[in-house]
Structure 1
Amino acid sequence: MDSASDAAALPTDYLLMDSGLYEALVEGNEEDADAVWQKMEQHDGRQVTPKGNTVLHIAALYGHIHFVHKILLQEQHRSFLLCALNKKGETALHIAAMEGHTDVVSALIHCAKTSPELRLLGVESGMGIGATDMVRMVDEDKDTALHKAVRNGHLEVVKLLVKEDPEFEFPANQSGETPLYIAAELGFHEGLVEMLNNCQRPVYGGPLGRTALHAAIINWTPKDCTKLLLVNEACLCEVGDDWGWTPLHYAVKRHNEKAVCDILQVKSSAAYIPAGVGKEWTTAIHIAVRENFVGLFRKIVERCPLCWEMVNSKGQNVLHEAILNNSTGMIKYILNNNNSGRKRDHLVDEKDEDDY
């Protein structure tokens, strides 16, 4: 990149960072601290890399807490450096949270709390910013620092951010992901516990109309988050996604027996919610039959016996479904099943909408 294009790419009132300053910040040598500061002072601290990172961004990226402290001690620079955005719209807090540098995150929050003169970069004069404002700032993807900390599994950073702003909803980013959804999707159990225990207004949403419970079941990580979510918000098991599938439907489809049992224990009525949108839909037990999951089918009907009476959108009962999908194990179980002495032979005589 030549100097002309460099200049065109930089934010207003910023200059391309001196290469010596950049190297010193990356290396983090404490002996270079005075030299680093002298180079910063040459342009009033307003030097950035081609990605728009300031000296504070770089110090936060590499976790050099001694440089972070030195930068934040300078009242004439910290106001804009603390809130300066790089080309991805990230603050130094975003960077530190993403990298898991807990001491840097703590220092940035402390500075925001104890520096009443801070002003948000790029907005009209007089608009102040405190620690909670900084925690709530989003980058170009609408990620907060908490989104980044959760996505990268940094528990101690999650604790700091949630403690600082427990009343914030931490809404969905541009992809529709809330921090809770990301934690459930990744099986970040400890992070999920921290947020559920401390966030006063938790938001569970995710993309495609799904919730954190959908994510926990669909991704089915070793550290299962299903029961934890159900204990905190039981109604999540009744929410259908854009295709009309609830978490129970996905649990059956993925043969996640534990999740099926957890859901039915909390809300057995979830078994009667249809799966699908529009004119075509099915049920949880039909999905179990189609997949030939005899054991799972048994658990559902034992808990929810009325499911024996359910049909899909084509008027087909579970025996229809078993025959159409050649689910031999299910056919044998259905025909031989006794429930308090009552056989299920009547299913043989029932017809679907095509009179079969």
Structure 2
Amino acid sequence: MAAGTMSGEATMDRRLLAAAASGDAASMKQLALDPGVLLGTTPPGNTCLHVSCILEHEEFCRSILTLDQSPALVSAVNKDGETPLLAAVTRGHVSVASILLRYCRDQQLSQVILKQDKRGFNALHHAIRRGHTMLALELIEAEPALSKAVNKNDESPMFIAAMRNITDVCEKLLEIPYSAHSGTCGLNALHAAVRNGNAVIAKRIMELRPWLVRQQNENKFTPMHLAVSEKRIDVLKVLLEHDSSLGYLISPRLLCVAAIVGDVGVARELLKHCPDAPYCDPKGSTCLHIAVLCGHMEYVKFILGSQQLGQLVNMQNSRGETALHLAAKFKKVEMLSALRHRQDMDITVLNSAGKSANWELLHATNPAKPLISMADDISSPPEPSGGLPVHQETL
């Protein structure tokens, strides 16, 4: 017989616990002749149905569902906020979960199917996270409203499916107009699809929820910025083909993001759809400045050979520095050579401190000596009449 606990709950009969743990359905049915014995719980709040689900005793579960107490047992919640259905799905016991799901559907126990545990996960969250695609689709079919729930991390089933790259589930969720698409840290399902380079999911989201492409995460990155920074050219192409104006997103400038990661393919795709895409950050640094600072030689060569971006060679940042100033200051020898060979490069430009690129090169190496061999990469301008040699500029 069940005894009372201090909280007033019935403690599970030891014989019932042994039957549930071993999957002994016959013993359970004998014990069930005593009214209420099946409703006893263990200290964590588990009923005999919870225990059998946790241990994946399929026949034991089937037997319980034929008894009068089954609705109460199926609806019972343990101290983790789990129904037996949630307990089965969380542990990846697909066959047991399917049995319970069909029972709940047939008995119209929608609230049991929709139940969220103490962390906010429902059965669909758990099925997707564990990669059980068929069970997830079965859950969606049985109770589409599962798609609306978000857990305590703001993760929707669609976001988790996109993060796991489960295309079938994502597409099914997108067919539900009210399904949630949010994710942790301000991300959404499109961010997740971009991160994985899943052009199929990205295309479907752009067709059905195009506004997601302009949503920023907590770091102010949209899916477009993520596509560029993660070098996802195939996904970037999908986004731009749907809406070419996305290439003009203001902050951070996409060509500047591409310069940080040094991806020429991404830059080409951007310029293909947006030939006059923004190329300066708010402080006046161009994507050429950034590429030089980050040491991306191929990106620098790409800009120097670009019809759209060739004018950047003499542009100055907020400190009056050209890309040549930065190459000299940080001793980027190969870049100095590439920049010098531009016929339209103006090596006489002075920064806000009145220093030329030659001066920067001198003092970046050894200010006590004349220009060393690296200076050969920059042609010295003629000395002004009556002026000081270039390496002694004091303006």
TM-score between the two structures when normalised by the length of structure 1: 0.80
Runs of 5+ in structure 1 lacking a partner? Answer: 116-129, 276-281
User: Is residue 242 from structure 1 mapped to residue 218 from structure 2 by the alignment?
Assistant: yes
SS at match of 2:149: coil
Task: Rate the CA distance shift 1:214–1:248 in 2: closer, same or farther, 3 A.
Answer: same
Query: Quick one: which amino acid aligns to residue 188 of structure 2?
Result: T
Structure 2 match to 1:163: 141
Aligned residue among 21, 26, 32 for 1:26: 21
2:194, 2:299 → 1: CA distance? Answer: 24
1:314, 1:294 → 2: CA distance? Answer: 23
> 1:144–1:170: 8 Å Cα contact kept in structure 2?
no
2:70, 2:29 → 1: CA distance? Answer: 13
> 1:168–1:201: 8 Å Cα contact kept in structure 2?
no
Query: Could you tell me how far 1:256 is from its partner in structure 2?
Result: 1.8
Task: Say which is worse superposed, 104-113 or 141-150, in terms of deviation.
Answer: 104-113
Structure 2 match to 1:190: 168
Query: Quick one: which amino acid aligns to residue 289 of structure 2?
Result: H
Query: Quick one: which amino acid aligns to residue 352 of structure 1?
Result: N
Structure 1 match to 2:305: 336
> 1:187–1:224: 8 Å Cα contact kept in structure 2?
no
User: Is residue 354 from structure 1 mapped to residue 319 from structure 2 by the alignment?
Assistant: yes
Aligned residue among 73, 76, 100 for 1:81: 73
TM-score between the two structures when normalised by the length of structure 2: 0.73
Structure 1 match to 2:97: 105
Structure 2 match to 1:127: none
SS at match of 1:305: coil
Query: Could you tell me how far 1:183 is from its partner in structure 2?
Result: 0.9
> 2:285–2:318: 8 Å Cα contact kept in structure 1?
yes
2:225, 2:199 → 1: CA distance? Answer: 20
Structure 1 match to 2:112: 134
Query: Could you tell me how far 1:274 is from its partner in structure 2?
Result: 3.5
Query: Quick one: which amino acid aligns to residue 187 of structure 2?
Result: R
Query: Quick one: which amino acid aligns to residue 195 of structure 1?
Result: L
1:102, 1:80 → 2: CA distance? Answer: 22
Query: Quick one: which amino acid aligns to residue 274 of structure 2?
Result: C
User: Is residue 56 from structure 1 mapped to residue 49 from structure 2 by the alignment?
Assistant: yes
**Deviations 1:282-320 (Å, cap 9, x if unpaired)?**
21210111222112211111111121x432111222222
Query: Quick one: which amino acid aligns to residue 55 of structure 1?
Result: C
Task: Rate the CA distance shift 1:222–1:113 in 2: closer, same or farther, 3 A.
Answer: closer
Higher relative contact order (CA 8 A, sep 6+): 1
Structure 1 match to 2:10: 14
Query: Quick one: which amino acid aligns to residue 21 of structure 2?
Result: V
> 2:147–2:158: 8 Å Cα contact kept in structure 1?
no
Runs of 5+ in structure 2 lacking a partner? Answer: 322-395
1:251, 1:159 → 2: CA distance? Answer: 29
User: Is residue 154 from structure 1 mapped to residue 132 from structure 2 by the alignment?
Assistant: yes
2:41, 2:145 → 1: CA distance? Answer: 34
Name the Cα RMSD after superposition. 2.6
Structure 1 match to 2:241: 265
> 2:82–2:117: 8 Å Cα contact kept in structure 1?
yes
Query: Could you tell me how far 1:84 is from its partner in structure 2?
Result: 0.6
Task: Rate the CA distance shift 1:144–1:228 in 2: closer, same or farther, 3 A.
Answer: same
Query: Quick one: which amino acid aligns to residue 135 of structure 2?
Result: V
Larger Rg: 2
Task: Say which is worse superposed, 82-91 or 188-197, in terms of deviation.
Answer: 188-197
Task: Rate the CA distance shift 1:263–1:12 in 2: closer, same or farther, 3 A.
Answer: farther
1:202, 1:35 → 2: CA distance? Answer: 44
Structure 1 match to 2:64: 71
2:20, 2:145 → 1: CA distance? Answer: 36
Structure 2 match to 1:145: 123
1:98, 1:180 → 2: CA distance? Answer: 17
1:317, 1:221 → 2: CA distance? Answer: 27
> 1:288–1:294: 8 Å Cα contact kept in structure 2?
yes
Identical aligned residues as a percent: 26
